[in-house]
Structure 1
Amino acid sequence: MATIHVDGKEYEVNGADNLLEACLSLGLDIPYFCWHPALGSVGACRQCAVKQYQNAEDTRGRLVMSCMTPATE
């Protein structure tokens, strides 16, 4: 299990999932086009971009493709 934070809320998710799969399993709405659970991740469409922060002190974050980013701590 992994803990992710989305919009100020904390969620426990499967650490083997990518961020897109984890958020979709929680019912969170993240747009995507090129990802399919049976085909894997491509990251080409860039629609699933999310901002990822390293820790609570990180104020800038960085853009990552949620379909290509593991849902880990």
Structure 2
Amino acid sequence: MAISILWFRNNLRLHDKKEEYVGHWLTELGDVPQEFIHQPHTMAMEQQKLAGIEIGSDYPEPMIDLEASYKEIRNRD
């Protein structure tokens, strides 16, 4: 599953550089700065306030900790 999510995230970065897909389908992210549009949960609370969004309330928190998943996969025998 982590590989699928990694593929999806990388595909978004590659093919949605202008945030047209994200902006069209996820209107609640409309004021999120470009550098956070594909990972809005990485914004600091002050940045979230400026963008008018609260992760966990207005937009869901990530379901999977990707970094922890990658680490687990790399450490498998």
Bigger proportion of residues as helix: 2
Bigger CA radius of gyration: 2
**Whose RCO is larger (CA < 8 A, sep 6+)?**
1
Give the alignment's TM-score, normalised by structure 1. Answer: 0.28
User: TM-score, length-normalised on structure 2?
Assistant: 0.27
| Larger relative strand fraction | 1
